[in-house]
Amino acid sequence: MTDRALVVVRAGALTTVQDRGRPGHAHLGVPRSGALDGPTAALVNRLVGNPPEAAVLETTVNGCALRPRSTVTIAVGGAPCPVRVNGRPVAWGAPVSVPAGALLEVGTVVSGVRSYVAVSGGITVEAVLGSRSTDLLSGLGPAHLADGMVLPLGTPKHFHARVDVAPQPAPPTELVLRVTLGPRDDWFTRKALHTFISRTYRVSPASNRIGLRTEGPALERALPGELPSEGMVLGAVQVPPDGRPVVFLADHPTTGGYPVIAVVHPQDLPTAAQAAPGTPVRFVGIRTHQRP
């Protein structure tokens, strides 16, 4: 019987199993989680013949190294990086056959932050609440990868895509996030609102799967005190006491007490997954309302 599994030789800085996440459980305090760059995860799945909901690996900056126990087809996308099989360069952004026992190396990104590795058959770790995603905030799902870990694989059901390379957007040199102001924009001065949508911020090195933190001008409050905890949505732009906006990403908490000045358009969030520290960030209002 074929041993459908991957052995983790080098786990990398932070490599996790991700799929489309587990939406619909916020009322239980469970974040959505899932791949931060969902379109790329779906693309690499398509390249190897998997359905879009199959679980993939999400690497952070310095990639990982894997050894399949049977011959598999892989595809690497997202942040551009070198890919090697037994030390020989192979294609990035295209399906590649990796023989049983060969060493697959996903290298350090050339630009961007996160690369995605799809394997024919998908990663079939045990699902929790309908998802195989690793959730760093709640601890649900599989642990992040560690050296020596063995990941089970499913059985391929479709042929991989017959392409030389798949076009993918480059990581952003400037991150432009469309936002709708509210629901707590009235907690900030008019000057702060103007600053928020007119000044340039930068991605902070403290950013992670929970939130994209920014560095830049502080936003001044119009109201003192704190809010009671209220529900938080994906893309909420929360402003903590230091006044620097934080964009909530896939592993964000489901409640919070700091005011939310705006919410990012969902289509702009995958690009945020690839914004490296230091990347300029601009918030662009797409709908505002007049105060009474």
Digitized pLDDT (tens) for each residue of the chain, 292 residues in all: 469 999 999 999 999 999 999 999 888 889 899 999 999 999 999 999 999 999 999 999 999 999 999 999 999 999 999 999 999 999 999 999 999 999 999 999 999 999 999 999 999 999 999 999 999 988 999 999 999 999 999 999 888 888 878 889 999 999 999 999 999 999 999 999 999 999 999 999 999 999 999 999 999 999 988 889 999 999 999 999 999 999 999 999 999 999 999 999 999 999 999 999 999 999 999 865 444 4
> Which residue intervals of the chain bear CATH 2.40.100.10?
175-287
* Token representation of residue 214: 């920014």
Instruction: Give the pLDDT score at 160.
Output: 87
Task: Give the position of tokens 């960030």.
Answer: 281
Instruction: Give the pLDDT score at 2.
Output: 64
* Token representation of residue 58: 């999400």
For the sheet with 88-90, list strands across it: 88-90, 83-85, 104-106, 64-68, 5-10, 150-152
Integer-rounded Cα radius of gyration of the chain: 20
d(CA 133, CA 113): 19
* Token representation of residue 5: 């599994």
pTM of the model: 0.94
The CB density around residue 268, as the number of other CB atoms within 10 Å, is 17
Residue type, 262: A
Q: Which CATH class is domain 175-287?
A: mainly beta
Instruction: Give the pLDDT score at 162.
Output: 82
For residue 239, give the DSSP letter: -
Q: Are 262 and 268 in contact (CB under 8 A)?
A: no
Instruction: Give the pLDDT score at 214.
Output: 98
Instruction: Give the pLDDT score at 290.
Output: 47
Instruction: Give the pLDDT score at 163.
Output: 83
The CB density around residue 158, as the number of other CB atoms within 10 Å, is 11
